[in-house]
Structure 1
Amino acid sequence: MSNMIQAAREQVSALTQAAYEKAAAQGILPAGVEVKATVEIPKDVKNGDYASSFAMAGAKAMHMAPRAIAQAIVDHLDLEGSYFERAEIAGPGFLNFFMGSKWYGDVLSDIEAEGMEYGKSDEGRGKKVMVEFVSANPTGPMHMGNARGGVLGDSLANVLQRAGFDTWKEFYVNDAGNQIHKFAESIHARYMQILLGEEGFPFPENGYHGDDIKELAQGFYEQHGDAFKDADEAQWLEPMSQYGLSVNIPKMKSDLSRYQIEYDEWFFESTLHNSGYVAQTVQMLADNGWTYEKDGALWLNTTELLKKKFLAEGKTQEQVDKLDLKDDVLRRANGFYTYFAADIAYHRNKLEERKFDVAVNIWGADHHGHVARLQAALDGLGLDGSHRLVVVLMQLVNLLQDGKPVRMSKRSGKAIALHDLLDEVSVDAARYFFNSRSSTSPVDFDLDLAVREDSENPVYYVQYAHARICSLVGRLAEEGSCVPAAAAVDAAVFATAEEKALIKNLAQLPEEIHLAVRDYDPSRINRYLLSLAGDFHRFYNACYIRGEAPKVLSARLKLADTVRLVIANCLNLIGVSAPEKM
């Protein structure tokens, strides 16, 4: 589990502390002083590869000028066998460390040893994390928001797994409740219009208007003819909803599989209702004193749960009192449980029954008001929802063509569906573009750019770097120059700024994965790939490989092949292919 950037940072601290102790033993510096110094990476390599603030941080306690402390440290540094070849004093007393060839060689060795697992860590310590994403209503085709949520959730789960979490990918199928009733009503209305004509039967105003509903009604008619023409709702509701689901859910699975997304489980909401789990969960909230009855309905005292949650998070009583908090219905007067009640039960199932340590949900930004309410409800069940439920809110997608927005409207039936998009652009382009920005930023998906085969298209630019290296390795192998083992490379060969910058970037991946996990932001991997590909192209244009002296050729070939491995590794994390030819 290599992290050469962190290793070098820690070595700077250790070398500096050892030098201080030597100087203190000789009476040059005061003994027994604890110095809390920072070790930073300067923006300008002229100021070294790492800079320690030890001298300035210790000046007050030692009653000495920082530069005098720095001089004593430099005089007593022992860099033998370390990653560093020298250290210099700069400015008010910075200690600037310059790396030697050992560090560069060790980066290549570590990547070679870890291969496609490079960047892994034990940060997660085996914690069980469920990532639930897409979870689109099975009442129609998946759209652009689902496409973004799909790659965001899939990539995030991959990154979490690389960081040592035990991850699980789940799709929650909303196959119960109001939207399914409306779905069946819409199919029924179109079915009746097939029999009576469009003027002969009214379509519900709030029904689903898409052409897909007409296709479902036609399919149902072809199976059953006019058998349901005179049926009442109790007779047609279940058959029509089940028929619609039996067609739509396999389509969703097929579209997501085409999109390179496979789930560990498709969890059906109906199982929570049929097993009595929703009723049991609501009863638990009642037993805990968090419900009350009003107008025949059962309500959750969300207001008090949220007040308790916000006060625990550090808000003042005055701030909490100013919030416009409202309670939520759990069971309607007609005896039916609300979607919110089912949602609480589902998340209790995640945390209590299946014992996930953390549940991560990818939701559209329009659900932001629901986050704290659900967390508070789980708090009311004693499940610490405020910490164990993490919701990643995702901003909208703007689809562009010819520089203009492509209008989307699910209600009008003119939505741009995921399967339509994948007919226009490659899966690689779709996945890369949808994961190109953090979830907090909208994504402008440029259809024209996504199909371009030039360096303006970021996914092409990255994949081309991989293919270019594969071609180079193949040509040199034919000429008798194979990629050497890292141990056979003389790292002292790496003398140019381009070579050093490229190796430093290779060393950055473990940190990028750590930050992606910390921020629940797998788009960092996309940005890292662009940066790495750019550094490789600059290296390739500045540093000849073919025709160079054997030692130089061998070292640069190994460096190029290491870049190939890391690009393939990162593309795999975000579910994009790494072509060998383009």
Structure 2
Amino acid sequence: MSPEALGALIASVITQLVAAHKTGSLTESDIPAADKVAVMRPKDRAHGDWATNIALQLAKKAGLKPRDLAQPLAELLQASEGIASVEVAGPGFINIVLDTSSAAQVVQSILDQQQQFGTSTAFTGETLNLEFVSANPTGPIHIGGTRWAAIGDSMARILAANGAKVVSEYYFNDHGEQIDRFAKSLVAAAHGEPTPADGYKGTYISEIAARVIAESHAAGIDALALPRVRDDQGNEGDSEQREEFRKRAVPMMFAEIQESMKNFRVNFDVWFHENSLYASGAVQQAIDELREQGDIYEKDGATWFTSTKYGDDKDRVIIKSDGHAAYIAGDIAYYLNKRRRPENPCDVAIYMLGADHHGYIGRMMAVCAAFGDKPGTNMQILIGQMVNVIKDGKAVRMSKRAGNVVTIDDLVSAIGVDASRYSLARTDYNQSVDIDLNLLASHTKDNPVYYVQYAHARSWNVDRNAHDAGIDQATADLSLLDTPADEDVLAVLAMYPSVVLTAGEQRAPHRVAHYLEQLAGSYHRWYNSERVVPMPLTEPEERLDMESQKELSTAKNPEPARAAARLKLNDAVQRVLENGLELLGVEAPEKM
């Protein structure tokens, strides 16, 4: 029985007790939904397969002591099919032991459902726009953006597994000051001049500049001979030369970023260009709409948005006094675009932003509210924390090409795509993370991605050996999965659907990774204690007394029905490991 099924059973029992007036002052409105009933694994398996604290949660509303509410719940649960025993413990916890046949049903469910096991319809009917990475097209993807690539793509897969229509989106910031600085840096590099004070550094700037010169030459243009106007301070003005570098270099960076994402197994449904919002007039239209509803005013020659009206800490300039749009102008139009697209308008716009964007939340939630939407519901903003790359116990800066940073290509080159994605996705984005290159390149149980992938490869080895031994799954009797190791694996397998659902609800892909490590650990222990393929007794063992020999033979040579049942359990683990790794964009190898 899965946690979801058990939660539904508990909710049903509470409904019966309320109808029978055996729950104090509880009413129908107090009955929790099945997915709101907390069902957890006890730390000590001696306390049962599952436990719930529902009596403690409802006792106050019921006007009863928790144990007085727990007792009638336990009595009805005890009488339910699939339950072996129920005990009220401590202040009111309910510990539940499943009967063996009920526990084993999860194996057949997994083998029947295959790739669909663990999926749900929780978000069916919702369109979620998930924007992540969105690095400026002024250089390679750095390690912070790489983390968002791993987490964002995993989150998209998990949300889709829960029934959502997910639109993965990359927002190219190709309008404004950062592009101007990029072009100035390229021109300076092309002339062998120092990088401008506010420019971009790294050998990639010289590489891109050389490519622009070559591409321009192929088009019959001498880029370095174009007019290059300077102002009195020696800075470049809007020159033909800078525009030539800009128009050719930005697409080059687009292509490089897209290639890096493809190689990292990240798929984007939409590549959105900020500049299109200005070219199409969408920015002006959004400002006009705010103006019509009284949320725009003029002050000190600038145009302001009354964001304090919607909870921001101060009003925001959207058109500066020099006539140029502030960054938020594009953000306003972009949010409206997501919500009102002719195709795939989103119900929820999820933004995944870097650690330096905390100040961004208030103004964007004000934008959401100004257009009549609900902040935190229609707009959700996730802030990721820093990534530190460690080697030999010290922080490293691997990239000469991109300057003093680590890029996505650096990381993949060092430890591969699987280890990169898994290690970045297995930590809550709210926490900083250390990426230990030595650990992630090792083939040890301390390397989490190796530990999980090895469990999957090991399950395939069991399959191959079972095939050679002629074990037939048709003879399986799943009720024979009754050893403590069998039961431990069964209990962990049953948790998978609730883990996937929780990961989606909480926007928490790391929960899937932690679950896979738990399942891998349970499986490795099972593998070391239980036999699927018979192992003949060795000569010294044959000298044991008959009773000891029989006991040892049973352990090493399970009867056909038990061997077949264990083979099914092995294959169920294999399938769940593969499903979970797929959600994280990590390969499930058959051999290692």
Query: TM over 0.5: same fold?
Result: yes
Give the Cα–Cα distance (whole angstroms) in 1 for the partners of residues 361 and 207 of structure 2.
36
**Paired residues of 1:365 and 1:395 also in contact (CA < 8 A):** yes
Determine whether 1:221 maps to 2:218.
no
Moved more, 225-234 or 271-280: 225-234
For the structure 1 residues 269 and 115, does the alpha-carbon distance in structure 2 shift closer, same or farther, using more than 3 Å as the test?
Answer: same
Q: Which aligned pairs between 1:95-494 and structure 2 lie closer than 5 A?
A: 96-193=95-192, 198=193, 203-222=195-214, 223=217, 224-225=221-222, 227-232=224-229, 233-306=238-311, 325-353=313-341, 354-407=344-397, 413-482=403-472, 484=473, 489-494=476-481
For the structure 1 residues 91 and 432, does the alpha-carbon distance in structure 2 shift closer, same or farther, using more than 3 Å as the test?
Answer: closer
**Paired residues of 1:299 and 1:328 also in contact (CA < 8 A):** yes
Give the Cα–Cα distance (whole angstroms) in 2 for the partners of residues 266 and 227 of structure 1.
31
For the structure 1 residues 208 and 51, does the alpha-carbon distance in structure 2 shift closer, same or farther, using more than 3 Å as the test?
Answer: closer
**Paired residues of 1:363 and 1:393 also in contact (CA < 8 A):** yes
Q: Which residue of 2 is the match for residue 509 of structure 1? A: 496
For the structure 1 residues 124 and 20, does the alpha-carbon distance in structure 2 shift closer, same or farther, using more than 3 Å as the test?
Answer: closer
Give the Cα–Cα distance (whole angstroms) in 2 for the partners of residues 221 and 559 of structure 1.
62
Q: Which residue of 1 is the match for residue 4 of structure 2? A: 6
Cα deviation 1:255-282 (Å, max 9, x = unaligned): 1111011111111111111001111111
Cα deviation 1:358-389 (Å, max 9, x = unaligned): 01111012101101211102321223344311
The amino acid of 1:105's aligned partner reads A
For the structure 1 residues 93 and 511, does the alpha-carbon distance in structure 2 shift closer, same or farther, using more than 3 Å as the test?
Answer: closer
**Among 470, 495, 505, which residue is 1:518 paired with?**
505
**Paired residues of 1:20 and 1:73 also in contact (CA < 8 A):** no
**Paired residues of 1:462 and 1:530 also in contact (CA < 8 A):** yes
Count of residues in correspondence between the two structures: 546
Q: Percent identity?
A: 33
Moved more, 507-516 or 8-17: 8-17
Give the Cα–Cα distance (whole angstroms) in 1 for the partners of residues 73 and 517 of structure 2.
43
For the structure 1 residues 276 and 91, does the alpha-carbon distance in structure 2 shift closer, same or farther, using more than 3 Å as the test?
Answer: closer
Give the Cα–Cα distance (whole angstroms) in 1 for the partners of residues 305 and 471 of structure 2.
71
**Among 527, 540, 548, which residue is 2:527 paired with?**
540
The amino acid of 1:511's aligned partner reads S
Cα deviation 1:378-406 (Å, max 9, x = unaligned): 32122334431111110000010100011
What is the SS of the residue equivalent to 2:412?
A: helix
**Paired residues of 1:12 and 1:39 also in contact (CA < 8 A):** no
**Paired residues of 1:330 and 1:337 also in contact (CA < 8 A):** yes
**Paired residues of 2:49 and 2:491 also in contact (CA < 8 A):** no
**Paired residues of 2:25 and 2:62 also in contact (CA < 8 A):** no
Give the Cα–Cα distance (whole angstroms) in 2 for the partners of residues 396 and 512 of structure 1.
26
Determine whether 1:580 maps to 2:590.
yes
How far off is 1:147 after superposition?
Answer: 0.6
**Paired residues of 2:14 and 2:73 also in contact (CA < 8 A):** no
Give the Cα–Cα distance (whole angstroms) in 2 for the partners of residues 238 and 68 of structure 1.
75
Give the Cα–Cα distance (whole angstroms) in 1 for the partners of residues 395 and 314 of structure 2.
37
For the structure 1 residues 209 and 299, does the alpha-carbon distance in structure 2 shift closer, same or farther, using more than 3 Å as the test?
Answer: same
Determine whether 1:563 maps to 2:573.
yes
How far off is 1:249 after superposition?
Answer: 0.9
How far off is 1:203 after superposition?
Answer: 4.0
**Paired residues of 1:19 and 1:76 also in contact (CA < 8 A):** no
**Paired residues of 1:20 and 1:72 also in contact (CA < 8 A):** no
**Paired residues of 2:421 and 2:584 also in contact (CA < 8 A):** yes
**Paired residues of 1:20 and 1:76 also in contact (CA < 8 A):** no
For the structure 1 residues 380 and 475, does the alpha-carbon distance in structure 2 shift closer, same or farther, using more than 3 Å as the test?
Answer: same
**Paired residues of 1:365 and 1:393 also in contact (CA < 8 A):** yes
**Paired residues of 1:306 and 1:376 also in contact (CA < 8 A):** yes
For the structure 1 residues 343 and 102, does the alpha-carbon distance in structure 2 shift closer, same or farther, using more than 3 Å as the test?
Answer: same
**Paired residues of 1:5 and 1:508 also in contact (CA < 8 A):** yes
How far off is 1:111 after superposition?
Answer: 1.2
Moved more, 473-482 or 499-508: 473-482
**Paired residues of 1:128 and 1:358 also in contact (CA < 8 A):** yes
Q: Which aligned pairs between 1:16-27 and structure 2 lie closer than 5 A?
A: none
The amino acid of 1:149's aligned partner reads W
How far off is 1:11 after superposition?
Answer: 2.5
Give the Cα–Cα distance (whole angstroms) in 2 for the partners of residues 59 and 283 of structure 1.
52
Give the Cα–Cα distance (whole angstroms) in 1 for the partners of residues 365 and 65 of structure 2.
53
Q: Which residue of 1 is the match for residue 49 of structure 2? A: 49
Cα deviation 1:36-87 (Å, max 9, x = unaligned): 69775444333333456798978997999967994897499634xx111234
The amino acid of 1:189's aligned partner reads A
Cα deviation 1:98-125 (Å, max 9, x = unaligned): 2112322221122122211211111112
For the structure 1 residues 51 and 274, does the alpha-carbon distance in structure 2 shift closer, same or farther, using more than 3 Å as the test?
Answer: closer
Cα deviation 1:499-519 (Å, max 9, x = unaligned): 111111111111111221222
Cα deviation 1:486-545 (Å, max 9, x = unaligned): xx6322212212111111111111111122122211111110110000000011111122
The amino acid of 1:212's aligned partner reads Y
For the structure 1 residues 297 and 410, does the alpha-carbon distance in structure 2 shift closer, same or farther, using more than 3 Å as the test?
Answer: farther
The amino acid of 2:159's aligned partner reads L
The amino acid of 2:403's aligned partner reads G
What is the SS of the residue equivalent to 1:444?
A: strand
Structure 1 residue ranges without an equivalent (≥5): 308-324
**Paired residues of 2:353 and 2:381 also in contact (CA < 8 A):** yes
The amino acid of 1:278's aligned partner reads V
How far off is 1:15 after superposition?
Answer: 5.5
Give the Cα–Cα distance (whole angstroms) in 2 for the partners of residues 78 and 96 of structure 1.
14
Give the Cα–Cα distance (whole angstroms) in 2 for the partners of residues 386 and 350 of structure 1.
16
**Paired residues of 2:186 and 2:206 also in contact (CA < 8 A):** yes
What is the SS of the residue equivalent to 1:137?
A: coil
How far off is 1:221 after superposition?
Answer: 2.4
Moved more, 532-541 or 83-92: 83-92
Give the Cα–Cα distance (whole angstroms) in 1 for the partners of residues 426 and 95 of structure 2.
35
The amino acid of 1:276's aligned partner reads G
Give the Cα–Cα distance (whole angstroms) in 2 for the partners of residues 462 and 410 of structure 1.
33
Cα deviation 1:7-28 (Å, max 9, x = unaligned): 1233345467769989x9xxxx
**Paired residues of 2:17 and 2:23 also in contact (CA < 8 A):** no
The amino acid of 2:572's aligned partner reads T
What is the SS of the residue equivalent to 1:289?
A: coil
For the structure 1 residues 248 and 557, does the alpha-carbon distance in structure 2 shift closer, same or farther, using more than 3 Å as the test?
Answer: same
**Paired residues of 1:432 and 1:526 also in contact (CA < 8 A):** yes
Q: Which residue of 1 is the match for residue 547 of structure 2? A: none
How far off is 1:455 after superposition?
Answer: 1.2
Give the Cα–Cα distance (whole angstroms) in 2 for the partners of residues 298 and 206 of structure 1.
27
What is the SS of the residue equivalent to 1:564?
A: helix
For the structure 1 residues 405 and 379, does the alpha-carbon distance in structure 2 shift closer, same or farther, using more than 3 Å as the test?
Answer: same
Moved more, 358-367 or 348-357: 348-357
Give the Cα–Cα distance (whole angstroms) in 1 for the partners of residues 65 and 149 of structure 2.
58
